[in-house]
Structure 1
Amino acid sequence: MPLTLGLTGMDPATESALQTAFKVANAQLGGHWTLVPEQQAHFVVVDMDSMYGPMSWLRLHASGKAVVALTAAQRTQADYLLTHPFNADSLVRLLGEIAVQNGKSLPAAAPAPTAPAAVVEIPQQPSTDPTAALPDVVVELLQTDLAQAKAAVAQQAATSAVAPVAATPTAEVSTAPATPAPVAAAPAAATPVAPAPVAQAPAAPAPTPAPNAGAIAASSSAPSITLSGDGLLDWLMPGRLRGLLRVGSGEERILIDADHRKYHGPAALKPLSGLFDRGFAPAEFEILPAAQWDSAAAQLGAPMPLARLVWFGNLLAGRGRLAPGHDPHRRYRMTKWPQTEREYPKHFRIATVMMKAPATVAEIAEASGVTEAEVADFINANLATGFAEPEGDPTPVEPAKSGGLFGRLRGR
């Protein structure tokens, strides 16, 4: 099959930058690729972070094209991922991988550029409804195809084995009540309050440990954990964990890079649900040396944003009800298109409804054809990660009519 590449769903600046990077990358790969119009291309790059990117992806997916998602997100539902910001080197890796998959032999050694290619920065695009221009019948057909594809991917991910990581001794717990952890500076001491089930993604000041709190430390320079709260969702709040940590066991084992808000673990989320059903003592967070971290992380695959676990924890926390402080009679809307998970195909329909206009839980459930419990869980997860927000005040209940002037007079 000829290797043809098209570009769509992006602004002129991004398209021009991609064309320039493509010329450099194609030359290094031996000229196997040809840049053609979108309609003639077998592989099409779509800017998923742009205004029309998601809608372009739906259209191309329905037509059978192989889609390359250009996005700043760590994951994508497209066939291939080109991380944004990009350069010629990242395009070489992507196009080279696709070429090898299609039976092309690449040059033994690609010539190195004299100077590193400049990273392309594209301004943030405004959010919009990615399916507003599509007829409802087309959206329904696409959702059916997507559900079947996602089910197959989820089944494959669930059966893949995760290589075990060698265990190391757990760091000792030091009880020094007068001295807080050296890397977790905070204001005057105060007793921490257990957080609500919804853990907000934006950074917050680290809570001050209670007077009797200890710290996990392998040495004087080792990262530390502030003692407060038991649930994993509580521990994932910004400022609670520091350093390179390992927690859980078996299929539920994950590595947490708390300082960079990343984690390593299974690609699927559902196998990790047990981590959110129990509490964790500080000693269960095992601190790993950098050398051991590199080996363990390589076995678990590429890093993923910690906000993904925050999203999943809040999806489970409400158990079919909105988190405390949120009224089901209030209207909610998506502030931007979320990164939906393959394991939850119904979320695509919920997000589509919420992108169109603010609505209550019952209205969203009726319009998307799912249960109110599924809508409430989805709203909880996206409120916590900044993809959704409440709109206005709850709808007031209309008082019974008094019957006009004579009715009011009779009531006196």
Structure 2
Amino acid sequence: MSTVPPTSTTAGARTIGGTGDPLAEETVTRFVADALADVDLDGRTVCIVIPDSTRSCPLPLLLGAVHSALVDRVAAMTAVVALGTHAPMSEDHLARWLGYDVDDPARRYPGLQVINHRWDDPATFVDLGHISAQRIGELSGGLLHVGVDVKINRAVVEHDIALVVGPVFPHEVVGFSGGNKYFFPGVAGQEVIDLSHWLGALITSANIIGTRGITPVRAMIDQAAQLIPAQRLALCTVVQTHTGKVLAASFGTPEDAWAAAADVAAQTHVRYLDAPVRRVVSVIPHRYDDIWTAAKGFYKLEPVVADGGEVILYAPHITQLAAMHPEIEQIGYHCRDYFVQQWDRFAHLHWGALAHSTHLRGAGTWDPHTGEHDRVKVTLATGIPEHVVRAANLDYLDPATVDLDAAAADPDTFFVPDAGEVLYRLRGEQ
């Protein structure tokens, strides 16, 4: 006879599960139903903000549970895929990701409209207001003094309730993903995306990734979220690595639900090594289809790599650096100081692209006389042509020459299958 795990209240959120075994699907479904039963939904409209497939998440289970709890109560509901600036998902891809028949989505989700966040279309957005340069200075700890216009997908504003549904992981820009991050940058305009990502880059990925609490970037995101007129709620989950099964779930405001889930993610998705490693082979799963997304296989290993060490991103299936951001081929990958100390050359570019560049290149220095000196060697063993890789300031390795079995057995190599979601740190470091 199975025992249903008890629910509790943590940081103002209703919670279930933890760091132990995955929750049964029926337990998750009941938790969602009970949580939404306590919300005033009758006759109202709901915008459900969901992740794209670059995040491990049992979305058919979660969205199915939410849909079942809403369908007979709400006047209308729309699911918006929080792409940030990722590529739009095709109809076939959406059907697989959400678990419906591409020819008959209404059979699985009657009454639900599903749309991509079209970040490349100005008609997508509505203005929410402005955050002043003074306030950005306060939130960023003095790192930035630039005001920002806050824009968001109009679907969020045109519904009574905005409900985030998605997982929480260590994150290279904000510390831990989830919560209000699904609004900014998930369905946000370029302005907040650029500013928040560049702030994370100034702090550096290695210094912010896996940081609990309200980081400067999280503070900026939360400030922007206060401008959303809809009632904001969130169903945040922590999923088991490699299986995607739900370990824990929390429901409440995006701030409270995220905080509860991040506490669990900090215990389940951060692993510690006793000493630095010299060589990493990071095997990139197919959910990442360009380096823009696959770079997570570097971000989450950089903290454990010794000075002068190497991270090899093994991904023969990847054939381009950044499908939606071709400017990366012209910018290349460089450390933070390369841009900061030559700011006049780069300030006109999208700061989000500059941030991505620094995140994959990692820590380093730049000097006008001696040039750039990077702490770690980054090598791509992908389907990207060698000349493109080297022109982008990265090292190249023919993936056909990589023996994964030998790498896994090599005591001098730290072998990471299915890289990109678990963060590795050195023991004793926060």
| TM-score after normalising by structure 2 | 0.26
| TM-score after normalising by structure 1 | 0.27
Determine which structure has more spread, i.e. the larger CA radius of gyration. Answer: 1
Which protein, 1 or 2, shows the higher relative CO under an 8 Å CA cutoff with sep ≥ 6? 2
More strand by share: 2
